[in-house]
Structure 1
């Protein structure tokens, strides 16, 4: 099965190791992975800021870059969701609308693809820790995927997965929201961190780099000892004590 990896902006700049983990997992599950050179930013920052017309250009470029792919896999629920928004941009351009629909139909978030398309629930991972899961807004509410990440984590040997209180609450990132509405965003992420601490988890796991960067950056500034890892880092671990590569890579500082 041929899979094209949508690397995302945050993936390329801050989470390259996560992209490697994603690729290794997919290849181990029998996929042939490529990375289309023509991909750029999906246009989400402009779109979320209200500049829908300005998003058409990036959307067309991404459609051209991925339209010949069999499947498109993205390690981010928010960026995968953006691909599913593309058809809405071109109601006045039937040709592009059709091309956008074809691209959207074969685009999946990473864990969603493993469970829904490959039909795999256990990737053979082993990670010994107490963990809790942050579910991102875009992945659950817009993409509609609420189970695949839980399903895969429940099959990780040695991982104790504990519920996160108010897991449905936004972490406060929201792209430019965290810049324009900084005081509100800061209170939201601080509340999220309080709930994380209630679980007494060693590790916070998530499937969206933007959320992890926001939460991890704030926890780093507050001196919290909890690791913040992308789910691919857990799923690609096979060591009894976890993967030592994960300790610092995911604790990226952000604007908070």
Structure 2
């Protein structure tokens, strides 16, 4: 049986994107429309519940999860610019909703929600958007993207098709940058030391930008960069892909 062609998608805008990096959300729309898709946005959407879940507040996480499933109740694929949030949904909603009244809803959602680079490369098979970003960059594998979601080659496949971009791999690219959500608050000295190591590895490549799939990692690293006035910037991969469109 021939697989149904995807023409429409729902977009999920995570808290960090909504509150700190809204332009990344707009750029995701630009990229998806460039891919020929009709984009739907539900303005009632809120947090997926990851912070509450990771902090042990499972009752609160369950309430947010139920709202999230209600907000994304269509059969359209849900696409978002965060491997962290979407990896959490895919891997942890079963802890909250397995064999509950929401069993079918959580199953449907977790099988139909995608981090954007995974969606572009593996679902709709589009990897070249005519993007132009004439800079040297190095790529940071976020822990959530690599270990929870399972991304490896997808972001790099997309970056290699960006005109003018030079990708230089840093050493220990798979090592955590130290953010870890509440980890950076509870263990600030360790978190800061890890950010220092990550940024130093990036600087050693001579790159102008650190690029990643997760704005939380980038925000953490940028805080260290800004405080120490270091000659490197950060960019979400969606912003790179939207460059020149």
TM-score of the two chains, using structure 2 as the length reference = 0.94
RMSD over equivalenced CA pairs, Å: 1.2
Shift of 1:233: 1.2
SS at 1:128 equivalent: coil
Question: Structure 1, residues 15-34: CA drift from partner, whole Å, max 9, x if none?
Answer: 11111111011011111111
Distance 2:209 2:187 in 1: 28
Which position in structure 2 is the counterpart of 1:30? Answer: 36
Question: Could you tell me whether the CA contact under 8 Å between 1:4 and 1:69 is conserved in 2?
Answer: no
SS at 2:135 equivalent: strand
Report whether the alignment pairs 1:72 with 2:88.
Answer: no
Report whether the alignment pairs 1:90 with 2:80.
Answer: no
For structure 1, the 5+ residue unaligned runs are 240-256
Question: Structure 1, residues 123-176: CA drift from partner, whole Å, max 9, x if none?
Answer: 111111111001111111111111110000011111110112101111111111
Report whether the alignment pairs 1:200 with 2:214.
Answer: no
Which position in structure 1 is the counterpart of 2:150? Answer: 144
Of 216, 221, 241, which residue of structure 2 is paired with 1:210?
216
Of 176, 180, 183, which residue of structure 1 is paired with 2:186?
180
Shift of 1:69: 4.1
SS at 2:231 equivalent: coil
Question: Structure 1, residues 218-253: CA drift from partner, whole Å, max 9, x if none?
Answer: 1011101211101111111128xxxxxxxxxxxxxx
Of 234, 237, 250, which residue of structure 1 is paired with 2:243?
237
Q: How many residues align?
A: 238
TM-score of the two chains, using structure 1 as the length reference = 0.90
Question: Could you tell me whether the CA contact under 8 Å between 1:88 and 1:97 is conserved in 2?
Answer: no
SS at 1:127 equivalent: coil
Shift of 1:52: 2.6
Of 99, 111, 114, which residue of structure 1 is paired with 2:117?
111
